């Protein structure tokens, strides 16, 4: 995949968004809920990991689903961890990077990760790390975003100034190929389109900022955004308007993979 923002910037952006995130995370709640529903029915982990836990909503959900298990939550953003820790769910909240986990081999039976891994440039490394920390027979369940996500915003900016103002996303086919090569056995890999609607563009961009998910690409133009460019952007986005409002499309991928019991 092409360049992604610097990890320190990602961590700082999500840390800043920790207090506002839960108020606008409607899509993130829905997607994480779907991912929970996709866990194998017979899964009974003794230890689970919530990877990219954010404010810890799904750490608390996992604790509810597996009350006898011991939970660990990892995120790259210290600000998110500070927010999540007092709310509980996991036994420990630890700073770490999905591409290089600060965890022992085979230390858990479930790695759960909702809408965090699209921030990792090296998805092969993420899969290798998940495989390493999973015990044989353990499950990696993740949701992430594919190409086509926020396409309306990308196309509108493109019409205005040709710059990359929207974070880049991997293709579904790349997720498929990387999962197939990971040494994990795919139980499910599927795609789902979700479309949110907004009365105006200001509300969409404000929400992306509150989520910490606004554009952090290295190629983004610096400096202030001029009033004329914003007006041009609003005009370009209006071409997409539907009866329900301005659409913002998300292409979500769900993956459930198992570490083979033997030889894996
Ligand atoms: C959109 S939030 C999702 C949070 C939570 N999983 C949820 O569904 O509400 C993405 C989270 O991934 C974290 N993140 C981004 N890159 C990461 C990385 N390389 N390693 C660990 N966490 C990362 C961010 O700090 C942020 O808290």
Model confidence over 163-207: pLDDT tens digits?
Answer: 777 778 999 999 999 999 999 999 999 999 999 999 999 999 999
The pLDDT, as a whole number, for residue 195 is 97
Residue with the bigger pLDDT between 159 and 134: it is: 134
The pLDDT, as a whole number, for residue 217 is 56
For the four alpha carbons of 195, 140, 20 and 102, in that order, the dihedral sign comes to: negative
Q: How far is the CA of 239 from the centre of ligand 1 (A)?
A: 32
Q: Atom of ligand 1 at shortest distance to CA of 25?
A: 9
| Average pLDDT, integer, range 107-124 | 97
Q: How far is the CA of 115 from the centre of ligand 1 (A)?
A: 7
Percent of the chain at pLDDT above 90? Answer: 84
With cut-offs at 50, 70 and 90, classify the pLDDT of residue 219. low
Q: Which of 94, 169, 99 is nearest to 128 (CA)?
A: 99
Residue with the smallest CA separation from ligand 1 atom 17 is: 76
Q: How far is the CA of 77 from the centre of ligand 1 (A)?
A: 8
Distances (CA, A) of 231 to 24, 156, 199: 25, 11, 16
The pLDDT, as a whole number, for residue 158 is 87
Centre a 10 Å sphere on the Cβ of residue 3 and count the other Cβ atoms it contains. Answer: 11
Residues near ligand 1 (Cβ within 6 A): 10-11, 14, 25, 28, 32, 52-54, 57-58, 74-77, 80, 97-99, 114-116, 119-120, 213
Residue 26, pLDDT > 60, answer yes
- Which of 116, 118, 123, 167 best tests ligand 1's pocket when mutated (most atoms within 8 Å of CB)? 116
Residue 83, pLDDT > 60, answer yes
Q: Specify whether the CB–CB gap between 221 and 161 falls below 8 A.
A: yes
Q: Atom of ligand 1 at shortest distance to CA of 54?
A: 27
Q: Specify whether the CB–CB gap between 143 and 118 falls below 8 A.
A: no
- Which of 81, 119, 130, 141 best tests ligand 1's pocket when mutated (most atoms within 8 Å of CB)? 119
Q: How far is the CA of 54 from the centre of ligand 1 (A)?
A: 5
Domain 7-148+168-196+251-258: which CATH number of 3.50.50.60, 3.40.50.150, 3.10.180.10, 3.40.1010.10: 3.40.50.150
Residue 162, pLDDT > 60, answer yes
| Average pLDDT, integer, range 212-233 | 69
- Which of 76, 89, 124 best tests ligand 1's pocket when mutated (most atoms within 8 Å of CB)? 76
**Least confident piece of the model among 89-103, 207-221, 232-246, 250-264:** 207-221
């Amino acid at each position: 995949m092409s360049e992604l923002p610097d990890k320190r910037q990602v961590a700082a952006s999500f840390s800043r968004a920790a207090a506002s995130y839960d108020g606008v995370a409607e899509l993130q709640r829905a997607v994480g809920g779907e991912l929970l529903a996709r866990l194998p029915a017979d899964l009974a982990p003794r230890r689970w990991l919530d990877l990219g836990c954010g404010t810890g909503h799904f750490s608390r959900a996992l604790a509810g689903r597996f009350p006898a298990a011991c939970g660990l939550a990892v995120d790259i953003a210290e600000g998110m961890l500070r927010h999540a820790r007092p709310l509980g769910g996991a036994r420990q909240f630890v700073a770490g990077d999905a591409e290089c986990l600060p965890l022992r081999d085979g230390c858990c039976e479930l790695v759960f990760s909702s809408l965090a891994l699209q921030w990792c440039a090296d998805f092969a490394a993420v899969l290798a790390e998940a495989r390493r920390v999973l015990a044989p027979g353990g499950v990696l369940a993740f949701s992430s975003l594919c190409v086509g996500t926020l396409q309306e915003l990308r196309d509108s900016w493109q019409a205005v100034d040709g710059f990359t103002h929207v974070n880049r996303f991997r293709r579904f086919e790349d997720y498929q190929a990387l999962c197939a090569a990971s040494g994990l056995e795919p139980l499910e890999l599927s795609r789902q389109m979700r479309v949110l609607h907004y009365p105006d563009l200001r509300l969409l961009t404000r929400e992306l900022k509150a989520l910490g998910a606004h554009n952090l690409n290295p190629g983004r133009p610096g400096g202030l955004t001029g009033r004329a460019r914003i007006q041009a952007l609003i005009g370009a986005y209006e071409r997409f308007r539907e009866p329900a409002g301005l659409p913002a499309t998300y292409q979500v991928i769900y993956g459930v993979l198992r570490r083979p019991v033997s030889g894996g």
